[in-house]
C-alpha cells in the first residue's frame, strides 16, 4: 500500500486537529437541534467515526449509499443503492461526505434528501477539490475540512478500486498505481 503513495497530503495529526476544530463549530451549530447526521457510504466511514465523536450534542446517525464512480473518473450517472432509514421531515439534517469533487454526487444526495422537507440541510465535507467543480452545480459545502489541489487521493476512507481505505492518512496515489 504505502509504496504506491507519492506524497502524504494530510497527516493523521492534521486531520485530527481539523476535525476537533470543526467539532466545536458543529457542536455550537447543532446544540438544541437534535440533528440527523447522514453519512454517504462508503468513503465517509472513517471521517464519520472521528467527526461524530466531536459533535457533542444529542444526534441520530444514518447512512445512505449512492453509486456512480468507477475507477478514477466519474460516469455522471447516479443511483441510490441504500437509502436512509430515518424520517427526516422537519428535522435538522447534516450530510457528512468524504470529498466534494465535481459536486455531482452531493448535488444528487442533496436533492434526494431535500424532497423529504427537512427543517434544514447542510453539508460538511472533509475534502474539497474546487478545481474540478462541474460549472452547472451551484451547491456549496457549508463546512470544509481541507481544500485540496486537483490530485487523486486515497486513505482515511477514500479508495482506489476499494483499496487504501484503511490508510490512516490522506495521500496522493502514484499515477503508475492506477495505470
Ligand atoms: P463528485 O461527484 O463530487 O465528483 O465525486 C464525489 C465522489 O467521487 C466521492 O464521494 C469519492 O468517492 C469520489 N472521488 C472524487 N475525488 C476523489 C479522489 O481524489 N480520491 C478518491 N479516492 N475518490 C474520489
Ligand atoms: Mg467513493
Q: Note the pLDDT tens digit of each residue in 74-113.
A: 556 789 999 999 999 999 999 999 999 999 999 999 999 9
Q: How many CB atoms lie within 10 A of CB 134?
A: 14
**pLDDT in the model for residue 175:** 86
Q: Which of 7, 39, 65, 69 to mutate to test the pocket of ligand 1 (most atoms within 8 A of CB)?
A: 69
Ligand 1 contact, 5 CB (< 6 A): no
Atom of ligand 1 nearest to the CA of 108: 2
**21-25, 39-43, 75-79, 175-179: the lowest-pLDDT one:** 75-79
**pLDDT in the model for residue 113:** 98
What are residue 155's phi and psi, to 5 degrees?
Answer: 100, 165
Q: Is the pLDDT of residue 72 over 60?
A: no
Residue nearest to atom 10 of ligand 1 (CA): 99
Distance set, CA 139 to CA 4, 50, 104, 106, 153 (Å): 34, 25, 10, 8, 22
Atom of ligand 1 nearest to the CA of 44: 10
pTM given for the model = 0.94
**pLDDT in the model for residue 70:** 59
Residue 104 CA to ligand 2 centre (angstroms): 12
User: Which residue intervals of the chain are DSSP H helices?
Assistant: 12-30, 45-52, 104-114
Measure the CA–CA gap between 89 and 83, rounded to whole angstroms: 15
Tell the residue number behind the cell numbers 483499496, with chain if given.
163
Please answer whether residues 40 and 66 qualify as being in contact, where contact means their C-beta atoms are separated by less than 8 angstroms: yes
Amino acid at each position: 500500500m504505502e509504496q504506491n503513495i507519492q506524497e502524504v497530503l494530510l497527516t493523521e495529526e492534521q486531520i485530527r486537529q481539523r476535525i476537533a476544530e470543526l467539532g466545536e463549530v458543529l457542536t455550537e451549530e447543532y446544540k438544541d437541534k437534535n440533528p440527523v447526521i447522514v453519512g454517504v457510504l462508503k468513503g465517509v466511514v472513517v471521517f464519520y467515526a472521528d467527526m461524530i465523536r466531536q459533535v457533542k450534542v444529542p444526534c441520530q446517525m444514518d447512512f445512505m449509499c449512492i453509486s456512480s464512480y468507477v475507477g478514477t473518473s466519474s460516469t455522471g450517472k447516479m443511483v441510490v443503492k441504500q437509502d436512509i432509514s430515518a424520517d427526516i421531515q422537519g428535522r435538522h439534517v447534516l450530510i457528512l461526505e468524504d470529498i466534494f469533487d465535481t459536486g455531482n454526487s452531493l448535488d444528487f444526495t442533496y436533492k434526494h434528501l431535500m424532497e423529504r422537507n427537512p427543517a434544514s440541510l447542510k453539508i460538511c465535507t472533509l475534502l474539497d477539490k474546487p478545481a474540478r467543480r462541474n460549472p452547472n452545480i451551484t451547491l456549496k459545502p457549508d463546512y470544509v475540512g481541507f481544500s485540496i489541489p486537483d490530485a487523486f487521493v486515497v486513505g482515511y476512507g477514500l479508495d482506489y478500486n476499494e483499496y487504501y481505505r484503511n490508510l490512516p492518512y490522506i495521500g496522493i496515489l502514484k499515477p503508475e498505481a492506477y495505470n
